[in-house]
A and B are shown apart, each in its own frame.
Chain A
Amino acid sequence: MRSIHRWVLLACLLLLSSCDQNQQVKDSQLSLMKTTNPSPIVTQKNKSKDHVKDIEQDVSSFPELYDVAVVKGKKDTLVVYKVKHLYRFKMKKIEKDINKMLEQKYPDENFTISSDYKIFLETVRLDEKMKSSKYKGKKAENRFNEIVNMTKDLK
């Protein structure tokens, strides 16, 4: 019985130590659990983010979604989102609606849409790496293409 108490105490200590407020937590570390709303990303240098921001706002206007990330590459534009829990039964319909809206509003763009957590996580990671200037230009574009290819494997 005493040993069980020790284990419970140890587990509590580990839990409390992980809740330390001073720790710097990256967005990607919690992106699977909380809303991160990453800023729109453009992989190419010297390109305006206004257009990507408009796309993000349009997608965010869907009431079923709660976290949207948009990445604009050289050819493709990746739109990743999380669906609210009760609407997850209608995932296919939501994807269809978003695709339809985007194709109507932005006919010149080539969109890749995904609601997969992994794709979202990789998008947030890409955003973080670009902010910390680890990734620039071609490197970011290559990583972006890898993420887009990942979505194609899902279909």
Chain B
Amino acid sequence: MATSKQKNMTPQQRNYQQLQQKHEIKRPVLKNCIKAFFVGGIICVIGQAISYFYIYYFDFTEQSVGNPTVATMVFLSMLLTGFGVYDRLGQFAGAGSAVPVTGFGNAVISAAIEHRTEGFVLGVGGNMFKLAGSVILFGVFSAFVVALIKTLLVIWGVL
């Protein structure tokens, strides 16, 4: 595709493209990856510490501790988004802060804050799940499909 486009270009366009490529600022991909790795890792360490806290001080087992840990992490990221801290973190770490479950909280609250001026119902209520709604929908649907497959495998005696 790209080569056929280049063939159709006039010499002027080709020269311009070469000039543009010369002056284009390169994306620091490796640097961004390292930043995302460390920030995402730190978020996971905090999550692990919270789950150990729940195991140690409450009656949660290793299997059931996931629910309160996720709830706490999402709540913390919602608070940090409200205070404007998580946005800065997102600018610095990119996917490192968006991929963990904390990114979900950020997506909900930032959309709510953005549409606050349009009113509570049509603004906040209507747009709050603009980004996170698809995550919930895909999550619920894929969980349903996986549960269905597991049930069938259990019935057939595979598992």
Q: Which A residues fall within an 8 A CB radius of B?
A: 32, 116-119, 121, 150, 153-154
Question: In the assembly, what is the distance between CA of A32 and CA of B63, in Å?
Answer: 15
Question: Contact at B61–A153, with CB atoms within 8 Å?
Answer: yes
Question: In the assembly, what is the distance between CA of A32 and CA of B65, in Å?
Answer: 14
Question: At the interface, yes or no: B60 with Cβ under 8 Å from chain A?
Answer: yes
Question: At the interface, yes or no: B62 with Cβ under 8 Å from chain A?
Answer: yes
Q: Which residues of A contact B52 (CB under 8 A)?
A: 32
Among B60, B62, B65, max chain A CB count under 10 A is at B62
Q: Which residues of B contact A150 (CB under 8 A)?
A: 59, 61
Question: In the assembly, what is the distance between CA of A116 and CA of B59, in Å?
Answer: 12
Question: Contact at A117–B55, with CB atoms within 8 Å?
Answer: yes
**B55 and chain A: residue at smallest CB distance:** A118
Q: Which residues of B contact A118 (CB under 8 A)?
A: 55, 59-62, 65
Contact pattern, B 54-83, Cβ under 8 Å of A = 1, otherwise 0: 011001111101000000000000000000
Question: In the assembly, what is the distance between CA of A150 and CA of B60, in Å?
Answer: 10
Question: Contact at A154–B61, with CB atoms within 8 Å?
Answer: yes
23 pairs, A vs B, C-beta closer than 8 Å: A32-B52, A32-B55, A32-B56, A116-B61, A116-B62, A116-B63, A117-B55, A117-B61, A117-B62, A118-B55, A118-B59, A118-B60, A118-B61, A118-B62, A118-B65, A119-B61, A121-B55, A121-B56, A150-B59, A150-B61, A153-B61, A154-B61, A154-B63
- Using C-beta atoms within 8 Å of the partner chain, give the interface range for chain B: under 10
Q: Which residues of B contact A119 (CB under 8 A)?
A: 61
Other than the given A117-B55, A117-B62, 10 more pairs (CB < 8 A) read A32-B52, A32-B55, A116-B61, A116-B63, A117-B61, A118-B55, A118-B60, A118-B61, A121-B55, A121-B56
**B52 and chain A: residue at smallest CB distance:** A32
Total A-B pairs, Cβ < 8 A: 23
| A128 CB to nearest chain B CB (Å) | 14
> Lowest 3 A-B CB distances belong to which pairs?
A118-B61, A116-B62, A117-B62
Question: In the assembly, what is the distance between CA of A150 and CA of B55, in Å?
Answer: 13
Question: In the assembly, what is the distance between CA of A153 and CA of B62, in Å?
Answer: 12
**A92 and chain B: residue at smallest CB distance:** B159
Q: Which residues of A contact B62 (CB under 8 A)?
A: 116-118
**B60 and chain A: residue at smallest CB distance:** A118
Question: In the assembly, what is the distance between CA of A75 and CA of B59, in Å?
Answer: 24
Question: In the assembly, what is the distance between CA of A150 and CA of B52, in Å?
Answer: 17
| A85 CB to nearest chain B CB (Å) | 13
Contact pattern, B 35-69, Cβ under 8 Å of A = 1, otherwise 0: 00000000000000000100110011111010000
Q: Which residues of B contact A116 (CB under 8 A)?
A: 61-63
Question: In the assembly, what is the distance between CA of A32 and CA of B55, in Å?
Answer: 9
| A152 CB to nearest chain B CB (Å) | 11
